[in-house]
Structure 1
Amino acid sequence: MASLQNQSNFETKIPAEILIARVIQIHDRISKLESLRPSKQVNTLFSHLVKLCTLPSNIDIKAIPQDVQAVRENLILLCGHAEGLLELEFATFISKISRPLNNLDLFPYYNNYVELARLEYRILSDNGVVQPKKVAFVGSGPMPLTSFVMATHHMKSTHFDNYDIDEVANDVARRIVASDNEFEKRMKFVTSDIMEVKEKLMEYDCIFLAALVGMRKDRKLKIIEHVRKHMKAGGYLLVRSANGARAFLYPEVDEVDLPGFEVLSVFHPTNEVINSVVLVRKPFFDN
């Protein structure tokens, strides 16, 4: 019976060639859109793409042909742009209603963020990070749901510094937080390229790196190395990555991409959560 079940599980996995063909088809349709702002057509295409990329598959993203790699790199940029526009629209809307922090669940992917935050906090707590004094979230955007969920449900005494390069995004996020005086005291928004932040990185017990910070691999690795150089010894870095077909949506970060760190945990989801989670620590004695 077990062997039959395993065979059945194997047969339900989408073959790589079919997956790639469907991804390319969706990419072609997205590329022809006049705008990536939220609309029925945009939402439908990206929903189909997400569902496709979370199906069980055996695809080896490093083994796909170069032309497909080019499609993947462009698709990550398109996904990032569309995600930013979606967040900005919902964050702007929520900021204008009363008690916006009580209405975060209006965001269509809110439950995914709740589940991801729960997963990340469990990984952190399993590795000794329970109630850090100060945390940085790099790439927070106009609707920093991870910071909101973590501060509300998990890290209830932690101070959060949210870094984003876009002042418009930070301004909207500030308006959401301004509705709660106690919450506002624990939540700061900093407009800066993280590559220009140095001494300040020493202050944080844990630094989160959003999946879309450094959408091209070489840029992301430079950012990770910059953070490693300037963060405090013994500090934790939580990097969001992607695995398998999910790497058509977000950049991947492997253990080999993290020299100079102690790798503590690598988790690849198999449910509706998109991002993989890689937790590393800067050694106390940095060579």
Structure 2
Amino acid sequence: MASLQNSNFETQISAELLIARITQIHSSISKLDSLRPSKQVNTFFSHLVKLCILPSSIDIRSLSPEVQEMRNSLIVLCGRAEGLLELEFATFLIKMPQPLNNLNLFPYYGNYVKLANLEYKILSENGVMQPKKVAFVGSGPMPLTSLVMAAQHLKSTHFDNFDIDETANDVARQIVASDGDLEKRMKFETCNVMEVREKLGEYDCIFLAALVGMCKEEKVKIIGHIRKYMKEGGILLVRSADGARAFLYPVVEEHDLVGFEVLSIFHPTNDVINSVVLVRKPITF
């Protein structure tokens, strides 16, 4: 049986072959003693990312329960590995005199720049030009989106970065401390977003990172909480995943966004992993 089929002049990988290969990588990753960056860890995850961005017609909703379970496990493993990779790089950067000049040493920096450019374009097209105050939920030790946005696009915007991990925030603060302007405009708060209430009403735009809420139920609960407390007319940008990219990150669908007005849903076809979903909390009169 031919495993590759030609469609629209692009070589598509069949769903069966894709699942078989991803299952194999999941099995190898699951056996690792540690997910800290190493040659072996980096190789497995690089292969996984390359597989997941191949053109394919896979429908995540039609996967068998066993494959769904493997996918959920893989998302958790990817999240852990990503956190450890970011922490290692951030810790390495703060030892340099100018950490912000060396962000491009991070292996996925180019992807973050492309994603930030894409998100800025989508925000601009929907009338969000220079918001006064933005929140980024799930900023991590390498708050690349906030850094790229603040330095290149939203040059007068104030950013509040929320993360549940104090170690991540501590390292992120040290990266930003090397730039006086960014340090003034960028704050880091250690908290669970489910415990943030009235403060959510201060933001013109809230970004929700892909790995905040690892399973569907948790993600929907977080989105509902943000909606309840954010201001009317405020914008929420949610990162999601589509097709095979959903083996790397949780998926947010339109029916998960109850009570919001959907402004834009964008699924990338290049090496950007995350889909971008932009919604607005309606103004009630």
**Corresponding residue number in structure 1 for 2:250:** 251
* Alpha-carbon separation, structure 2, partners of 1:129 and 1:55: 32
* Equivalent residue, structure 2, for 1:144: 143
Counterpart check, 1:62 vs 2:61: yes
**Structure 1 alignment gaps of length 5 or more:** 1-5
Question: Residue 281 of structure 1 aligns to which amino acid in structure 2?
Answer: R
Normalised to the residue count of structure 1, the TM-score between the two structures is 0.96
Tell me which residue corresponds to 1:116.
Answer: 115
| Structure 1 equivalent of residue 223 of structure 2 | 224
- What SS class does the counterpart of residue 37 from structure 2 fall into? coil
Aligned to 1:3: none
CA contact (8 A) 2:6 2:12 kept: no
Structure 1 counterpart of 2:78, which letter? C
How many residues of Structure 1 are paired with residues of Structure 2 in the alignment?
Answer: 281
Write the distance in 2 (CA, Å) between the matches of 1:282 and 1:240. Answer: 17
Partner of 2:196: 197
Whole-angstrom distance in 1 between the partners of 2:248 and 2:14 = 18
What is the root-mean-square deviation of aligned Cα atoms in Å?
A: 1.1
Identity rate, percent: 74
Match of 2:212 in 1: 213
Task: Give the letter for the 1:174 counterpart.
Answer: R
Structure 2 unmatched runs, 5+: none
SS of 1:163's equivalent in the other structure is strand
Q: Aligned equivalents of 1:8 and 1:234: distance in 2?
A: 42
Distance 1:253 1:183 in 2: 31
Alpha-carbon offset, residue 7 of structure 1 = 5.5
- 1: CA distance between counterparts of 2:6 and 2:146? 42
Structure 2 match to 1:280: 279
> 1:9 and 1:98 mapped to 2: Cα distance?
50
**Counterpart AA for 1:93:** F
What is the distance in 2 between the residues matched to 1:228 and 1:35? 37
TM-score (normalised: structure 2):
0.97
What per-residue deviation string (whole Å, max 9, x for no partner) do you get for residues 153-209 of structure 1?
Answer: 000000000000000000000000111111100000000000000000000000000
Name 2:182's counterpart in structure 1. 183
Structure-2 separation of matches of 1:238 and 1:130: 14
State the shift of 1:9 in Å: 2.9
Give the match for residue 264 of structure 1: 263
Distance 2:214 2:91 in 1: 24
Task: Return the offset for 1:12.
Answer: 1.3
Partner of 1:81: 80
